[in-house]
Amino acid sequence: MGSEKLDAVLVCPSEELKFLLGFSPMMCERFQGLFIKNDGSFFYLCNLIYTGEIENVSKDLRIVSWFDGEFMADAVHKLLEAEGLLNKKIGVNSTAPAFCILEIAEKTGITFVNARPLLEEMRIIKTAEELENLRIAASIADKVFSEVIKFIKPGMLEAEIRDFITSEMAKLGGLKP
């Protein structure tokens, strides 16, 4: 964030959020997302309806919420003012809903910029455990590919092939979806 001169990054429900929290709620019209400030602090902003769902993700995650009876941009303005983020520069991921971002920008003076490259860079870096898991997954996929080539016959349904692949992957230690 420092090299991009960002005061914070907003990560709305997405693969990036799943990467960061191990969870990504269904995207809906109610604004929500993880704010990561350049001082290292973070909080999840969501509608009061989703607070319970988000609390189940992590007991360490600070949640700030707004109520449906409030105009979203007014409520978010109050919350972001308390966080010291008014008139700041905030990067957003590609799933941030434009209709929300535009309303929030107008109310708060926040300049929103594309943080997709920054978030992609973050996901490229892998721990030793992640690298090992990728090696194992690739090995399983290679072995199953050899078997599925022998298994496929004309007239088979895609569902039959899918079931074969998932079953073989599970036998070799892969997870069933």
Q: Which two tokens stand for residue 145?
A: 């590919």
Pick the closest to residue 57 from 20, 8, 17, 21 (CA basis): 21
Reply yes or no on whether the pLDDT at 28 is more than 90.
Answer: no
Mean pLDDT for the stretch of residues 99-128: 88
Same domain, 29 and 111: yes
Same domain, 75 and 151: no
Mean pLDDT for the stretch of residues 112-121: 87
Q: Which two tokens stand for residue 65?
A: 């919420």
Same domain, 166 and 86: no
Structure confidence by residue, pLDDT tens digits, 45-96: 888 887 878 788 777 888 888 887 778 888 889 889 999 999 999 999 988 8
pTM of the model: 0.71
Reply yes or no on whether the pLDDT at 176 is more than 80.
Answer: no
pLDDT at 50: 79
Whether 120 is in a domain gets the answer yes
Return mean pLDDT, the chain. Answer: 87
Question: The domain containing residue 75 runs over which residues?
Answer: 8-124
The answer to whether 93 and 116 have CB atoms below 8 angstroms apart is: yes
pLDDT at 110: 94
pLDDT at 60: 80
Same domain, 146 and 62: no
Number of domains in the chain: 2
The answer to whether 91 and 115 have CB atoms below 8 angstroms apart is: yes
Whether 177 is in a domain gets the answer no
